[in-house]
Every structure is written in C-alpha cells, then in structure tokens.
Amino acid sequence: MAVTPGRFGGLCFRFRDENPEVASEGPLFSGGGCVRRGTAMAASAADAVASAAEDREPQRKAMPGLESQWRQIENSESGRERPLQAGESWFLVEQHWYKQWEVYVQGGDQDSSTFPGCINNAKLFEDQVNWNLKKGLVEGEDYVLLPAAAWHYLVSWYGLKHGQPPIERKVVELPSIQKVEVYPVELQLFQHSDMSIPHTAQFSHTDSIDLVLGTARERFLVNPQEETRLWIQLSDGSFERLCNTHVTVLDARLKTGQVIVMETRKKDGTWPSAKQYVVRKSVSKEDEDFQGQPGVCGLTNLGNTCFMNSALQCLSNVPQLTEYFLNNRYLEELNFCNPLGMKGEIAEAYADLVKQAWSGHHCSIVPHVFKTKVGHFASQFLGYQQHDSQELLSFLLDGLHEDLNRVKKKEYVELCDAAGRPDQEVAQEAWQNHKRRNNSVIVDTFHGLFKSTLVCPDCGNVSVTFDPFCYLSIPLPVSPKRVMEVFYVSMDPRRKPEQHRLIVPKKGKISDLCVALSRHTGVQPDRMMVADVFSHRFYKIYQLEDSLNSILDRDDIFIYEVSARAGTGEGVREDVVLPIYLRERSPARDFNNSYYGLMLFGHPLLLSVPRDRLTWDALYHILLYRLSRYVARPSSDDEDDGDEKGEEEEGGSTRMQTAEGGSLQDPGPEQAGPSSGVVGRNRAPADNSPGPSNWPQRSRRKQLFTLQTVNSNGTSDRMTFNEDGHAQPYIAIDWEPEMKKRYYDEAEAEGYVKHECVNYVLKKAPVRLQECIELFTTVETLEKENPWYCPNCKQHQLATKKLDLWMLPEILIIHLKRFSYTKFSREKIDILVEFPIRDLDLSEYVIKPQSESDPEVYKYDLIAVSNHYGGLRDGHYTTFACNKDSGQWHYFDDSSVSPVTEDEVESKAAYVLFYQRQDVARRLRSQPDLSGPSEPPACGSPPSSESMDVN
C-alpha cells in the first residue's frame, strides 16, 4: 500500500499495513508518553483519554482479549510465525518489552501489574537525536521481529513511546536466503558543485538506484526539469557512473559509508565532470551567454572524421528522433542488459551530442567522447582513417536500436515462407515477428518492409518472404562502356609513343581494346600486343582473350605494334616477339671492386624479330634501328675500338650465349629473386617463345651496349635452361654509364604525344531518383558467390530475385550506391541524380494495397543529404540539412555552418538522402511544444573509463 514516508534523523521509514482491518492512516495522539496511531478497534479509547492514568482503562476495554491478542500476534496469518516474503516490511521491537508483553497476555489478567505499557525501543538506539541503531544487535537477545500487521496491532493497542520512530526494515532476497534487513545501507550523498557537506541517507538493498537518485534530487532541491546523474566513489578514490538506475542497491554493490555524487547537466548540454571539448564562437563570451539557433552547430574534424560528422548531422536533423532525446524519453527505454547492444553507452553518448548541439549555446562542438565510444564498440572505426558515412550510419542506427530496444528478452521466432498464403497475411505475420524481437524508436522511425520473391530456374519453385529494412541501398544506372587510357608504341622508330583514350565495353576482352585502338591508328588488331608496364618491366603481357576487368584505371597499359606473327605453314615466315629491358651498369663497392650492379630504366619494348635472323649481331642492329629516335649511331671509329679477345668458332659464329654460359637453345625456368622488386608478376605469353637451334655469336668489336638473356624481372638468369620449349626469353640491353651518357637521349626516350581522342570526355546524362528506384525493384539473377538454396531441388541455385516495397517508414533513408567494388575494379559513379526536395511520390512502387483516403503516407519531403566529394582513395563528406524549428536549410562542413537555399541542395555529390513522410511532418507540426525536458531519473553517457574530478 502506498504511504507517505516518514524521516527521522537520516533514516527513511515507511508505514505499511498489509491487514485491511487495521487502518494505517489516522490522527496521532499521545497519552502517558505514548504515541499511538488511531485504529478502528481503538477509536473509543482515542477519544476518551488525556493522561496516562486515564488512558489505560479505556484502552484495555478497546483491546481484544489477551488470548485473542496472543493469537493475532504470534499464531495467525499476520503473526510472527508467517514466512518471510521479499520486499515486505517487518518491524523491530525491543526484547525486554516484548517479553513483558508475553508475560502479561499469558497471565490471563488484564488488570495485572505486568501490563507492559507503551512500546519503548530506547535500548535499541545509540542516541535520542539521530535515532541510529546500535551496532551488533542480535535477534532474540536485543529485539524481536514482527510483520507489519502485528506491529500495527501492538501500536494501536499499547501505543509507541513519544518521539521514537518505528524501526521498519524490509525483507531482502539474497542469492541463497531471505532475511530481514536490520541494518540498511547508509550512503553519503554529495552534490558535484559542493563536496563539503554530506547528506546521509539509508536505503534497503532492494531499493533501486532510481530511489537513490530521487532522494538526492529531493535533498539538493533540484528542479524537475533539470537532468542529473550519479557517480560512486571507488576504494581507490576514482569515480564510476551509476548508469543503470533500474538495478537495486544490492546489484550495484553499494556499501555503507560509500560516497555518492550527483551532478546536474549544464544549460549548454554538457556535464560538469566531462572534459570540455567545446569550440567557442568568441573567446570573449561564455558559452552560457552565447545564444544561437538550436541545431545550427558544427562538429570539429578530429582527423579524417568528416564521414562521422556528416552522418551525425543528418541524423541530428531527424525531428522525431531529436525530440525523443531532447525530451528524455530515451531514459526509460535504455536497455543495459541487451547482449546485442552496447550497454546503453552508444545511446547515451549520442544523447549528449544531441543535447549539446541543440542547446543553442555552441557554434561548434568536438565529438571526441562519441568518437572514442564508437571506436570502442566498432573496431573498424578505430584510429583516424577515412571511412564511409553510410557504413557509420548503419552501425549507429543498429547500435541505437539495440541500446533502446524495449524487448528485454528476445524470444525465438521461426521465419516462415508464404507457402501460397495471401501477401497481407504473410506481411502482417512477418512484421509482428519482427516487433516481438525488435521494438524501439529506431524501428518506429526508420524500419519498413520488403517483399522478396525468389524463383528457382530449374524447378520453378517460388519463395516469398517479407523482410524489414532500415534504409534503401539503390543502384545507379551504369554505362556499359568504359574509358581506358593507353600508350601506343608503333614499329616506326621515328614515331613517338601516342597516348589514346579509348571507349571499350566494360565487360569486354583485350581484343576489344585492340579493335578500338585500330580505329585510331589503322593498324590491324592482330598486329598488336597489350602489356601492363610497372617499374620499368612487364607486369603482365596479355592474351587477346583476357578480360578487361583485370586492368585497373591506374595501370600503365602499353600497346605495341608487332609484325604479323600468325602462320605455321611452309614458306611462311614466323616472327618472334622478344621483350626488351633497358639496364644501366652501376659500380658497386665490394672487397675487390669487381662487381657491377644493374638498374632498370626507361620503358621496356616488345620487338618483332624474324626467326631466321635471330643472331646476336642481327638483334643488335635491329635494336639500333628501333631505338634510333633516341639512341645515336656511333661513328665507325667508335665501333672499331673494340676488344678482339675471345675464341671464334669455325664459320665465324657460335651460339648466342646467356650470361651464365647456357644457350638459348636450352630455355629453362625463370626464377625471380627477392631483389627483383616485383612479387607475383605474370609471365609473358608462352606461345611467343622462340626456339632456334643455333644463334651466331656476336662479333667482339666494341658496341654501344651488350645483350643478354634475363628472367621476366630483368635480373640475370643464373639457371641452366631445360629443354621444354615453352619458356619466353627476355633480353636486356645493358649500358655502360659513359656510353649511355654519350648516345642515349633520355628526354627524347620519355617523350610522347597525345592523340586528339585524349580530349574526349564521356558525357554522363543525369538520372532521376525514380529511375534508380525502378532499377532497384527489377528482376535480377543471383551471382555465383551468393546462390540460393532451393528447398525443392535440395541444392543451391542461381535464382532470379525481385524486391518490392511493401511498407514505408516515417523516415526513408536512400543510399545511392556510388561506389562500385568488384574483384578487378573499384570506381565511383559520379553521375548527377536528380531528386525532388518536396513531394517524392512512391505510391507507384509500393505493392501493398493502398488507401485512397490518405495519400500522404506515400509522399515524402527531403530533410537532409550526406554528400561525398572526391574519388575512392580520398574524399570529403559534408551535409545539407533542414532545421526542424526554423525550416532553414544549412550546409554543414565539419565545424563550419552556413545557410543555403533549396536550389543548392541538389548536386553530383549527393550520397545519402533523408526523406520525411508528409503525414508525419503534419502530425509533428500539430503537436504542442514539448521541448522542455521532463524530470529525468538518470541520464548522460561518458565512457566507462571516464573519471570525475570532484575537488
């Protein structure tokens, strides 16, 4: 029964009456030094007595018989013998008085001199001022325990010594036993602003922390509109937040003598104990003096955190969600026990941020605490790397939902297929099942319902399910064409390499690239070879049937003109294509100065050589011709100044030798050593391998450069070749530094010209948002990486899938999928999406039977946009948002905020769109102003490691 608590000397007592026959309310009266509570049974005595002598006679007359008293106090259902029940009140009675009462009632004489008089518990108290119990009292020796009903009987019959408080104690349920809590927990209450004067208060172990907070608020005279929270001082002197106010004193492990500090949120939305990361608009003004438009508040960039700032600004400008936090409705719904949640910490951290931004006292705030909290629960956001605003938004919505989930214990729900049932029935069942496990303000605001239809291509089995969604990730129409930049190297030594910009099919092959280049150069595609050049060597030489997906936009692609190499019949000359590297010798100091290092430089070359001319001498002169644009021919004197050493074989020629003495007749496996600088590089096409049986030896005259076979990385091949006939020989041109300086024109070698096609820009026509939504709802075939298991075929199938909108949320978040990631390519789609600011009508895309009486449930108005500028590797996020109070659009660029017009909102940078349903907007406008916060039981959310300075 609810009663008014009485407080005596720091002790908190409540009068309770569990017996309906005994009134717990009534006038207090005194007689003979006793204070008794009037009852129906003793009403006549209460009206008749005025003194101790006069009081006894009418009181005894009003009492039941002695046997009846004994039965009611000792043996009845309301007597001492009844079992304990958790949470009920029992009262302490001094042992000597109770024994005297027992003697009196057992004597059977109501006029006996053994009459005990009024109840006197003086021996149980340490003093007569604070009325604190003595320490170490023992039941049965110092006191007896009586249930509430028995206590009230005795008080009504005999009265209570004037000035003494009743000693009420609760029954607590400990892990293994129930007991009467004789000694409650005595706490020292302090206010954060004044740590000098403690307020002592006693609480039962079963009292909630909410009661402790309420008591502190009452003691310190805190206004109902002000927010407060509690801290507990630990044994090491540090402070820890008491976040969950719904737990008991026992669960919170509070002990007698512990210090509890209450702090009050300031007008600017911050807490006195929190570190202040506030950027003031003017150093000459205090934050409390600054008054701006609530919500028009920037967020400082902590280092690549613009993605987080953009997502927060969008979410902060969702009217109903912000009002939910500003009005403290979240406090009663914090879920500290959800294993899928973040112990309420994400919700509290976000609430702190919203309250500061909408206090009107800041022009910019630093979201340091929130950033730390996000990194603690989502390791992918640790550090200060750039991330995706939509990914953070997804995490934040999920975290807020679980922290505010009204479902404390999730039940198991089995997902059921439609199995031919009507859509209305299946959809309603799916939504009810969803709400049985997920019920929060996030679900109320952002969740809608999909209809998903899967069709097996083999058996035709149709599976229909209804799934909830929090946002729509819609694709953008992608052009089937792709622009690629390449360098074309002609066989004509007089022509510089040409840069070309080619339009090719996105899913095309290397042959398509050659065909596109052929239109510009007139050279037949079969006379082209495509290679990826990296670090002066060939990363890969492509086959014509290779996919273009393997080529990234950042790759340096060279297309070389080669001679016609097809043909194996008699009389048809077969050409060999040799990869050529350029290397320069550099002296390396070792113990005898005999070793020369070799360093790659310049662009490599693919050279066509007739197989019947494959001699060192012929190759040397062919290379002189091909390099003649930037390699000067030496004079005859330079050429004859040679070294005539060396042994010449009969006929004046020998085989073309490798650097280690092997011959090209014995091609063998290549080995890329660790010094090559390239890992996992692909080799040249195997079908280009020559295979001459005898290559004449070079003449021993001095030449501009020397030639030798190397592996694909450009390092000397030190292995003996195996006779497999499939190895591609790579030839290196080695230059002495002095000869290179004299005859090699480096500037000319690196020069190239731009073809007129380089100036071509692929125009991207803008698309409407509705087109993207249509594309989202079209039928698609599942990818090989994500097949569907058909319950009819009992195997995974590449089924067709179709998504339809069934139910739309109050706030519709539309994520434009601008970033495309595949196995071989990554790109950002920089197309302009035209989206309406007002009256986005989605009725034609919702397949649920519609009601003509309320068309506004399908119409939306834009309230916020998250923008992304830049490319894949780097970029910047900003926000356009409409203030819920003023209706003015603002541009949020981290800490900078400026007003804009609606015409400026639409841009190619739009990435995530926030739309509000029109019927919801009308409902919010019609509601009275609820901006004033209600009385909070608790609030706030610093990290668990946050400490509080109370000095």
C-alpha to C-alpha distance for 427 and 206, rounded to whole angstroms: 44
Catalytic residue (one of 243, 297, 306, 314): 306
What are the structure tokens assigned to 593, written together? 């100065």
Pairing mode, strands 833-834 and 840-841? unpaired
Asked whether 887 and 901 are in contact (CB, 8 A), the reply is no
Q: What is the DSSP letter of 454?
A: E
CB 548 within 8 A of CB 559: no
Dihedral in degrees, nearest 10, Cα atoms 510, 511, 512, 513: 60
- In angstroms, what CA-CA distances link 934 with 229, 334, 647, 924? 14, 16, 104, 18
Residue from 136, 79, 72, 138 nearest 105 by CA: 72
From CA 97, how far away is CA 95, in angstroms rounded?
6
Helix, coil or strand: residue 622? helix
Max CA separation in the chain (angstroms):
154
Gap between the Cα atoms of 623 and 625, Å rounded: 5
Torsion 843-847-852-856 (CA) sign: negative
Residue 777 DSSP one-character state: T
The single residue of 162, 434, 536, 876 carrying the catalytic annotation is 876
Residue 110 CA, chain-centre distance (Å), reads 78
Contacts (Cβ under 8 Å, ≥6 apart) of 20: none
- What does 268-329 look like in DSSP terms, one character per residue? TS--TTS---EE-S-TTS-TTT----TT--EE---SS-HHHHHHHHHHHT-HHHHHHHHTTT
Tell me whether strands 259-264 and 185-191 are parallel, antiparallel or unpaired.
parallel
List of residues 6+ apart from 514 with CB closer than 8 A: 525, 526, 528, 530, 544, 559
Sequence-ordered alpha helix ranges (H) in 303-451: 306-316, 319-326, 345-357, 368-377, 389-403, 423-437, 441-446
Distance of alpha carbon 833 from alpha carbon 913, whole angstroms: 11
The b/e string for 3-24 (b: 16+ C-beta within 10 A; e otherwise) is: eeeeebeebbbbbbbbbeebbb
| Collapsed DSSP state (helix, strand, coil) of residue 343 | coil
* Residue 878 burial (10 A CB sphere; 0-12, 13-18, 19+): buried
What residues are paired with 14 via a beta bridge?
5
> How far, in Å, CA of 95 to CA of 33, rounded?
20
Beta bridge partners of 788: 797
State the CB neighbour count (10 A cutoff) for residue 673: 11
CA 786 from chain center: how many Å? 24
Q: How far apart (Å, rounded) are the C-alpha atoms in residues 105 and 258?
A: 45
Run of H or E including 215: helix 209-219
CA distance 671 to 449: 58
| Coil, strand or helix at 13 | strand
Q: How many CB atoms lie within 10 A of CB 726?
A: 11
Instruction: Report the Cα 389 to chain-centroid distance in Å.
Output: 10
Rounded distance between C-alpha atoms, residue 356 and residue 941, angstroms: 13
DSSP 3-state of 41 = coil
CB 631 within 8 A of CB 622: no
Q: Are 472 and 775 in contact (CB under 8 A)?
A: no
Active site (annotated) includes residue 306 = yes
Measured CA to CA, the distance from residue 216 to residue 12 in angstroms comes to: 13
Residues serving a catalytic function are 306, 876
